[in-house]
Amino acid sequence: MKLFVAILGSPLLLAVAAFCGFGFLATFEPTDNVTQFKAFRIGYIVIGLGCLVGVGFLITNAIRK
């Protein structure tokens, strides 16, 4: 069961992390409201890194038996 959850969950979390990476890069476009985009950058970083850590936990738990 752990292997099935890792196989199913890892691509989903990686897709969210990729979306956060793209969103983080998109916040560097020139704008007048810099403080709002700093909040978006922090949010994208937190969610993206959280997804990557989740993938790591899924893989390590699936490998351990």
Residue 65 has pLDDT above 70, yes or no: no
Tokens read off for 32? 């007048």
Helix, strand, coil abundance in the chain, percent, nearest 5: 85, 0, 15
Q: Which helix (H) or strand (E) holds 21?
A: helix 2-26
Q: What is the pLDDT of residues 28-44, one digit of tens each?
A: 888 888 888 888 999 99
pTM: 0.85
Radius of gyration of the chain (CA): 15
Share of the chain above pLDDT 70, in %: 98
pLDDT mean over 6-26: 94
Q: Whose structure tokens read 């738990």? A: 61
Number of domains in the chain: 1
Its domain, for residue 32, covers 2-63
